[in-house]
């Protein structure tokens, strides 16, 4: 309990120091058009959350849109990646043929993939989705493939002697052993997904946090630009540390119950 | 060549009351190049009567596990005939359960979940699961551990779960591959006693592989001795002591002594 307490304290402490430095810098700068202080940004965020903005919608609406985009793209690319990785692990033929293509996709710079997707699909929801999937899916698949290599074959043999079919084996024998690999892919996939979604919104998708950011960028309104950046970063931190960490500890309950 | 599963009607003609019949079973392992490397099983023949406890005793690496895997239907062989038939009255294909050297439990599932896994694999109706789980956990002395995770249990308890898992499918045939060899001597001894008690209640046919003659004499109705290179059965002994037995009974100890002598003489004899 005590170390956990200390780490929370440490996190809050460094956050406060950061805000303090920001506040001091803004006071020294003395130009709210270049670096508004944290209080100004706080006021702006509070204002944006309750008042309809330039698109006639409050910040909550845009946050919701961005979250929905992230959720759909993330889920789709994770599921596709897990399915492809598992299939590669189970079939030598598939593994050998896909291992030619995947490194090509992994070396492709993310930003080029976004441009490519936009050129093919235009500034549409599909364009964003394709960009995310093209970047994230191969990465997840490779991770899962690696996981299948590390699986305990004797458990598969056990399942086979008891006549377990492929679907039962996948659910109860393969996937649980892949969980550590799925979660490590999860973190990366999530990080990349929200960055690409933000990029796609900035470039041309209608609505969303990135869209609003770009709108205020066009107006050269520094406090609004910073307000949207802060909203975005806070949201992603909450998701990563609040939601995923909790999911992960639940998925590995069988392991931690030993350490009691 | 043929892996035959006989239904009772068909079985009654040929091998009456024998649950497992292996005839001239031969298997070679291939070297990586494709050339024949060595003979794992050389014309092995054995019979296990229904409801009997039969042991195969032999040194490590003599192909005992391969033999069990072939009988379980998960490994191929080159020639011979393996017949596995159901308990009388059953009309389905024979149910075969396996207890391995290590427990091979799914550590992310609870004790109960591990048993559910094999029940689902065997297509046992869900309505029966709860009763099968509690009856067989009780049998191995693990009542109340349903919701516990395997990693919280000792090695001996994990192996008990593996035994409960095997018995839960109410097998016609139970294959056991040195199931107590990873346990300490005291736990293993207790487990052997308990196994005897359990089998008095659930009565599957058992083929038990071990390298421990003491264990074989205490547990079995019949013992096959096997040697390696070439791997073949060189002696067959039936053990007729009444049950329950005591490992320290002088008759048991005498037989053990005689068999030990014969076993090592046989191992050392030229092929």
Residue percentage of chain A with pLDDT more than 90:
31
pLDDT at B14: 43
Chain A: residue nearest B151 by CA? A258
**CA A12 vs CA A5, A7, A245: distances in Å:** 11, 9, 18
Please judge whether B151 and A154 are an interchain contact, meaning their C-beta atoms are less than 8 angstroms apart: no
Chain A: residue nearest B110 by CA? A254
Please judge whether B117 and A172 are an interchain contact, meaning their C-beta atoms are less than 8 angstroms apart: yes
pLDDT at A160: 93
Give yes or no for residue A59 having a pLDDT over 80.
yes
Chain B: residue nearest A254 by CA? B108
Give yes or no for residue A20 having a pLDDT over 60.
yes
Give the closest of B74, B104, B149 to A155, CB-based: B104
Whole-angstrom distance, CA of residue B96 vs CA of residue B102: 18
Residues of A in contact with B74 (CB under 8 A): 157, 160-161
pLDDT at B10: 44
Q: Of A37-51, A97-111, B104-118, where does the model show the most confidence?
A: B104-118
Whole-angstrom distance, CA of residue B63 vs CA of residue B257: 25
Chain A: residue nearest B105 by CA? A155
pLDDT at B90: 52
> What are the structure tokens assigned to A111, written together?
């930003």
CA distance A255 to chain B (A): 8
The pLDDT-based confidence of B80 (bands split at 50, 70, 90) is very high
Give the closest of B102, B122, B152 to A257, CB-based: B152
- Decide if A35 touches B, using CB distance below 8 A: no
| B36-78 residue pLDDT tens | 677 888 899 999 998 899 999 988 777 888 999 999 988 899 9
- Decide if A171 touches B, using CB distance below 8 A: no
Please judge whether A163 and B122 are an interchain contact, meaning their C-beta atoms are less than 8 angstroms apart: yes
Whole-angstrom distance, CA of residue B67 vs CA of residue B207: 10
Measured over the CA atoms of residue B79, residue B80, residue B86 and residue B87, the dihedral's sign is negative
The number of residues in chain A equals 260
Residue percentage of chain B with pLDDT more than 70:
89
- Decide if B108 touches A, using CB distance below 8 A: yes
Give yes or no for residue B86 having a pLDDT over 80.
no
The pLDDT-based confidence of A2 (bands split at 50, 70, 90) is low
| A181-203 residue pLDDT tens | 998 888 889 888 988 898 888 88
Give the closest of A158, A164, A254 to B100, CB-based: A158
pTM (2 d.p.): 0.79
Among A190, A235, A239, CA closest to A210: A235
Residues of A in contact with B152 (CB under 8 A): 257-258
């Amino acid at each position: 309990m005590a170390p956990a307490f200390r780490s929370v304290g440490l996190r809050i402490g460094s956050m406060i120091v950061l805000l303090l430095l920001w506040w001091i810098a803004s006071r020294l700068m003395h130009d709210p058009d270049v670096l508004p202080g944290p209080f100004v940004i706080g006021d702006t965020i509070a204002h944006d959350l309750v008042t309809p903005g330039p698109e006639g919608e409050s910040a909550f609406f845009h946050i919701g849109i961005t979250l929905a985009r992230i959720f759909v793209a993330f889920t789709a690319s994770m599921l596709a990646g897990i399915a492809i990785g598992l299939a590669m692990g189970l079939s030598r033929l598939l593994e050998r043929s896909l291992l030619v293509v995947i490194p090509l996709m992994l070396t492709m710079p993310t930003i080029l993939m976004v441009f490519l997707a936009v050129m093919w699909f235009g500034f549409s929801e599909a364009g964003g989705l394709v960009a995310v999937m093209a970047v994230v899916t191969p990465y997840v698949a490779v991770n899962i493939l690696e996981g299948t290599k590390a699986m305990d074959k004797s458990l598969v043999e056990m399942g086979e002697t008891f006549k377990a079919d492929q679907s039962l084996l996948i659910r109860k024998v393969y996937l649980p052993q892949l969980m550590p690999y799925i979660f490590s892919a999860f973190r990366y996939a999530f990080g990349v997904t929200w960055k690409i979604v933000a990029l796609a919104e900035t470039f041309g998708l209608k609505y969303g946090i990135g869209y609003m950011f770009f709108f205020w960028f066009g107006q050269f309104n520094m406090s609004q630009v910073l307000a949207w950046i802060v909203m975005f970063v806070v949201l992603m931190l909450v998701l990563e540390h609040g939601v995923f960490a909790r999911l992960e500890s639940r998925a590995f309950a069988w392991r931690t119950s030993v350490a009691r | 060549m043929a892996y035959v599963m006989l239904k009772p009607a068909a079985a009654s003609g040929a091998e009456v009351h024998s649950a497992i019949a292996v005839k001239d079973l031969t298997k070679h392992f291939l070297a990586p190049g494709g050339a024949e490397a060595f003979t794992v099983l050389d014309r092995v023949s054995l019979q296990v009567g229904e409801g009997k406890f039969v042991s195969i005793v032999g040194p490590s690496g003599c192909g005992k596990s391969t033999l069990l895997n072939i009988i379980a239907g998960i490994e191929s062989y080159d020639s011979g005939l393996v017949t596995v038939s159901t308990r009388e009255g059953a009309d389905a294909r024979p149910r075969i359960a396996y207890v391995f050297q290590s427990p091979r439990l799914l550590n992310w599932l609870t004790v109960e979940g591990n048993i559910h896994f094999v029940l689902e694999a065997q297509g046992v109706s869900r309505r029966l699961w709860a009763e099968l789980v509690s009856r067989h956990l009780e049998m191995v002395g693990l009542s109340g551990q349903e919701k516990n995770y395997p990693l919280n249990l000792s090695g001996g308890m994990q192996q008990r779960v593996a035994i409960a898992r095997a018995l839960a499918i109410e097998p016609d045939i139970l294959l056991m591959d040195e199931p107590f060899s990873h346990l300490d001597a005291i736990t293993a001894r207790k487990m052997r006693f308990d196994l005897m008690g359990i089998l008095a209640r659930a009565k599957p046919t058992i083929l038990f592989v071990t390298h421990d003659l003491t264990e074989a004499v205490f547990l079995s109705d019949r013992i096959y001795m096997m040697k390696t290179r070439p791997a073949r059965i060189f002696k067959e002994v039936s053990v007729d002591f009444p049950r329950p037995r005591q490992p320290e009974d002088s008759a048991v100890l005498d037989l053990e002594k005689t068999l030990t002598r014969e076993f090592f003489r046989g191992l050392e004899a030229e092929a």
